[in-house]
Amino acid sequence: MSDHPHGYLCLVLHAHLPFVRHPEHEDFLEEHWLYEAITETYIPLVWMMERLVDEGVHFRLTMTITPPLAAMLRDPLLQERYLGHIDKLIELAEKEVDRTRRRQSEVHDAACMYRDKFYRARAIFQDHYGCDLIRAFRNFQDYGVLEIATCSATHGFLPLMQDHPQAVRAQVAVGCQVYREHFGRDPRGIWNAECGYYPGLDRFLEEQGIWYFFVDYHGIMFSDPRPYYGVHAPIYCPTGVAAFARDLESSKSVWSAEEGYPGDFDYREFYRDIGYDLDFDYVRPYIHDSGLRISTGIKYYRITGRPCDLAHKQPYNPGWAMERVHTHAGNFMFNRERQIEWLAPGMDRPPLIVSPYDAELFGHWWYEGPDWLYSLLRKIHYDSPTIETITPSEYLQRHPINQMATPSLSSWGHKGYCEVWLEGSNDWVYRHLHKATERMTDLANKNRHETDPIRIRMLNQAAREVLLAQSSDWAFIMKTQTMVQYAVERTRDHLLNFRDLWRMLEDGTSNADYLSSLEGRNNIFPNIDYRVYCS
């Protein structure tokens, strides 16, 4: 680490999963999204930061932890279910260590690697943090190495709500409220879901005291006026809220499966798993009880080549993969140093490179990702006189004077202008979401002085159902054609739940059993106040 860096690197990991919690089922398939992410992404990131702190490495990392993810990570039911899940994986891994020693020696080292990883995951989850990973991340923030940003309440896609200001205000206000509850401080930054921005959105952020948000490259490059320093310095919106933009060059080297590091032939192949390879009766006790074959997370093969059929993949060698991790970390640092050296002469301050990624890329999709981050942050600390890692709020404190401009309407994703979340597969949802918002706003205004405890509970649950229906994840899943039925059902269920509550509230009736059932299933935002929808 240099005392006078030539430039800054802001690494941002966006940690998010949709709110999936089904107490009415003993084992619900989509809940496994959370369990996989805990084992493969969140715990490896915690362990990575623990090691860096213990070694005295100076580093800064920025993460967003969305309200749905925070709610699930702190839910006692899901914590208990995760312990059952990791115990099954440990049992399976022990059997695999024995089986591969006797019958498949070429992958025995990988089997041992998984066994050790699962034991470590359980120890970190239960013994180190009492099943509360939010406490882990909060500790790193309080220590000063991690900055956690918030997100809209249910990852709602705000550009498609701009005709309903109360919907935008509710998403932002509830997201900030939940952050304060979990992290004991006001959020400084926010990740607008899918990097979605439209001119005027920043006034709702400014209402909540937000310092900054993120946009994709073109959101700043097509701002009005155009930015003098491109994406390598933030701009201030008219409200004074800062916008930081994604750097394309650094992002591509990690995001791209074809050109980026994750596609290296020595890295682990994601799509070949023992849940499909081994005898079904052998793996059945360790997968979902529906009888479907699903991934276990134990994968013994490397990418090998491109193209390369799954059947022809070669065994994964953990040692080879770690060699590539260090090579790629060094290459990323070298390229950022050259990038900074090229940019610096034309700027009156050190250039800033903002590199945002989905957190789940690291460990889940790119198995070696957390090791790459660990290696990169160590190399920058020990070897780079050019780069300093920084958080957005630290940058604004060091460089408070920035150009004023208005970012353009933009998102990330295919084509960059909201098309993923509004096209033929999912456009049907918006007339229903807009009508629910109108009715929720009307309910809040008419009942702003309500004192009856049952009606207050009904109004609060109605607000939860609207927010849950607005999750951008459902439209995204419909577009990508993965688990479409589940996404459609979730959208419809929340809208129908809201409709039922709206009718009862309008008619002056109630159903205590029905209300309790909804509160038990969809228990997100326990402290919500429906008056957030008042206009």
Mean pLDDT over 219-245 rounds to 97
Average pLDDT in the chain: 96
What's the rounded Cα separation, in Å, for the pair 517 and 477? 27
d(CA 319, CA 250): 26
Q: Can you give the pLDDT at residue 255? A: 82
Q: What is the pLDDT of residues 470-485, one digit of tens each?
A: 999 999 999 999 899 9
Q: Where are the alpha helices (DSSP H) in 66-212?
A: 67-73, 76-103, 108-122, 133-143, 165-183, 202-207
Half-sphere exposure of 127 (CA within 13 A, CB side): 6
Structure tokens at 283: 């793996």
Q: Is the peptide bond before 453 cis (omega within 30 degrees of 0)?
A: no
DSSP 388: E
> Where does the pLDDT of residue 308 fall: very low under 50, low under 70, confident under 90, or very high at 90 and above?
very high
pLDDT of residue 191: 98
- pLDDT for 3: 57
- φ, ψ (nearest 5 deg) of residue 42: -70, -45
Query: Can you give the pLDDT at residue 101?
Result: 97
| Alpha-carbon gap, residue 214 to 371, rounded angstroms | 26
**In the structure, how many helices (H) and strands (E) does the chain have?**
20, 9
Cis peptide before 370 (omega within 30 of 0): no
pLDDT at 291: 74
- CB under 8 Å to 164, separation ≥6 — which residues? 434, 437, 438, 441
The gap between the terminal CA atoms of the chain, to the nearest Å, is: 50
Cβ–Cβ < 8 Å for 303, 267 = yes
Cβ contact 115:94 at 8 Å: yes
Q: Is the peptide bond before 307 cis (omega within 30 degrees of 0)?
A: yes
DSSP H or E run through 382: helix 369-383
Arithmetic mean of pLDDT, 265-269: 97
Q: Which amino acid appears at position 322 of this protein?
A: M
Give Dmax (Cα) for the chain. 71
Residue 471 CB neighbour total at 10 angstroms: 26
For the chain, percent of residues with pLDDT exceeding 70: 99
pLDDT class of 4 with cuts at 50, 70, 90: low
Confidence of residue 292 (pLDDT cuts 50, 70, 90): confident
CA 240 to chain centre: 26
How many CA atoms, within 13 angstroms, populate the side-chain half-sphere of residue 468? Answer: 32
**What is the rounded CA–CA span in Å between residue 240 and residue 234?**
11
Is residue 256 very low, low, confident or very high in pLDDT (cuts 50, 70, 90)?
A: confident
Note the helical H segments in 286-391: 318-343, 369-383
* Contact predicate 481/431, CB 8 Å: no
| CA angle (15, 475, 496) in 5-degree steps | 110
Q: What is the mean pLDDT of residues 261-266?
A: 96
**Mean pLDDT on 147-154:** 98
- Find out whether 214 and 191 touch, Cβ atoms under 8 Å: yes
Chain-centroid distance, C-alpha 148: 12
Contact 149, 63 (CB under 8 A): yes
pLDDT, tens digit, 9 for 90 and up, residues 186-204: 999 999 999 999 999 999 9
Name the 3-class secondary structure at 389. Answer: strand
Query: What is the C-alpha separation between 99 and 186, in angstroms, rounded?
Result: 51
Q: CA 92 to CA 504: how far, in whole Å?
A: 50
The mean pLDDT value for 446-455 works out to 97
* Two structure tokens written together for 141: 């923030």
Return d(Cα 157, Cα 168) in angstroms, integer. 9
Q: Has residue 407 got a pLDDT over 60? A: yes
Residue 2's pLDDT is 52
Q: In order of start, what are the domains of the chain with their CATH numbers?
A: 57-72+137-268+316-418 (3.20.110.10), 422-533 (1.20.1430.10)
Q: For residues 430 and 211, is the Cβ–Cβ distance under 8 A? A: no
- Is pLDDT above 90 for 232? yes
CB-based burial, 87-125: b 16+ in 10 Å, e otherwise: ebbbebbebbbebbeeeeeebbebbbbbbebbeebbebb
Q: Choose among 503, 432, 494: nearest CA to 467.
A: 494
CA distance 320 to 299: 16
Q: Is residue 1 scored above 60 in pLDDT?
A: no
Closest Cα to residue 59, out of 7, 5, 3, 10? 10
**The length of the chain, given as a count of residues:** 535
Q: What is the pTM of this model?
A: 0.96
Q: What is the pLDDT of residues 87-127, one digit of tens each?
A: 999 999 999 999 999 999 999 999 999 999 999 999 999 99
Q: pLDDT, tens digit, for every residue of 16-68?
A: 999 999 999 988 889 999 999 999 999 999 999 999 999 999 999 999 999 99
Helices (H), 268-360: 274-277, 280-283, 318-343
> Residue 373 above 70 pLDDT?
yes
What pLDDT band is residue 287 in, cutting at 50, 70 and 90? confident
% the chain with pLDDT above 90: 95
Q: pLDDT, tens digit, for every residue of 499-526?
A: 999 999 999 999 999 999 999 999 999 9
Q: At 400, give phi and psi (nearest 5°).
A: -75, -15
* pLDDT in the model for residue 109: 97
Q: 259: pLDDT confidence band, cut at 50, 70 and 90?
A: confident
Exposure on the CB side of residue 481, measured as CA atoms within 13 A = 1
